[in-house]
């Protein structure tokens, strides 16, 4: 029987085992392979598993260890899926694949009616933010990236000339007003969030469609109280939390791991 798992540290809180069991009705084992030593976790994968998910802090190490890189891995320089193949270990990035599918399925259709077309704002340029930025740009969407360390954002933009506009993180309120799709990957709330509900500048009106995706599902910056306040000021705002991110990541990633489509309805119920 094929075996799969997740490596990272810490991962005891992970929802991935429950999602995987739901997606395949318990057909395959899926284990948490936790530890601070990537080398030891990778050896366990090689000895006992057919494919693994990879989470923080090992995505760049997984990228470096792979024999074969998918195109999205080449773009993001990170991997969160490793699969054994006859030609070696192949790496994929389902942060990229999942967000790209979410943009196509949910986000872009909601904001397409804006006159200038959807513009995507990606806040945070860590692994998740970088993957989201390249996913948005791959769909031909205008993409703005920002980060606490603006030099990091500028390096990403310089690596792919013409794909991104770079702005400082302090410009988040103004950029929020101007962009129809906001992907928030900063691991905590930034001070600029407090002023968004009072802002009335930019190209989009309060009634314009606006959709927010946040990567963090454990300690989100967009709390229910904050979302309510935001929607009072921006009635057409729709929020998709980190569990939606996780669901789309699982939907695209698990099929790569197993070669079989998971049951999306059962995974959704699990969350």
Please report, in tens digits, the pLDDT of each residue of the chain (271 residues total).
Answer: 899 999 999 999 899 999 999 999 999 999 999 999 999 999 999 999 999 999 989 999 999 999 999 999 999 999 999 999 999 999 999 999 999 999 999 999 888 655 456 799 999 999 899 999 999 999 999 999 999 999 999 999 999 999 999 999 999 988 888 888 999 999 999 988 887 766 544 455 556 778 999 999 889 999 999 898 888 878 888 999 999 999 999 999 999 999 999 999 999 998 8
Q: Nearest 5°: phi and psi at 89?
A: -85, 120
Predicted TM-score (pTM) above 0.75? yes
Closest CA to 252 of 139, 135, 143: 135
DSSP-derived 3-state class of residue 58 = coil
Chain length of the chain:
271
Strand duo 68-69 + 88-92: pairing:
parallel
Paired strand residues for 152: none
Domains of the chain, CATH where assigned: 4-92+245-270 (3.40.50.10860), 97-240 (3.40.50.720)
Check 2, 27, 59, 266 and give the catalytic one. Answer: 59
130 is catalytic: no
**Do 43 and 60 contact (CB within 8 A), yes or no?**
no
Instruction: Show the tokens assigned to 232.
Output: 């009072």
Burial of 213 by CB count in 10 Å (0-12 exposed, 13-18 middle, 19+ buried)? buried
């Amino acid at each position: 029987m094929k075996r799969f798992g997740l490596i990272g540290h810490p991962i005891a809180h992970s929802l991935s085992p429950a999602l995987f069991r739901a997606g395949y009705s318990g057909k395959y084992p899926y284990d948490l392979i936790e530890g601070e030593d990537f080398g030891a976790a990778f050896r366990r994968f090689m000895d006992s598993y057919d494919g693994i998910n990879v989470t923080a802090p090992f995505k760049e190490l997984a990228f470096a260890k792979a024999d074969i890189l998918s195109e999205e891995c080449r773009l993001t320089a990170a991997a969160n899926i490793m699969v054994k193949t006859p030609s070696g270990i192949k790496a994929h990035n389902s942060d990229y694949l999942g967000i790209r599918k979410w943009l196509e399925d949910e986000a872009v259709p909601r904001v397409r009616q804006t006159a200038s077309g959807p513009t995507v704002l990606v806040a945070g340029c860590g692994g998740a933010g970088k993957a989201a930025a390249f996913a948005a740009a791959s769909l031909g969407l205008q993409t703005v990236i920002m980060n606490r360390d603006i030099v990091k954002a500028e390096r990403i933009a310089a690596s792919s000339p013409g794909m991104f506009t770079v702005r400082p993180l302090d410009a988040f309120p103004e950029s929020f007003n101007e962009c129809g799709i906001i992907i928030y990957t900063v691991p905590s709330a930034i001070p600029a969030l407090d002023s968004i509900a009072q802002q009335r500048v930019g190209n989009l009106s309060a009634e314009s469609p606006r959709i927010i995706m946040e990567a963090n599902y454990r300690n989100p910056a967009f709390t229910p109280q904050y979302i309510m306040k935001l929607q009072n000021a921006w009635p057409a705002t729709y929020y998709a939390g980190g569990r939606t991110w996780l669901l789309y990541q699982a939907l695209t990633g698990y099929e790569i791991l197993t070669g079989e489509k998971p049951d999306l309805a059962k995974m959704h119920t699990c969350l």
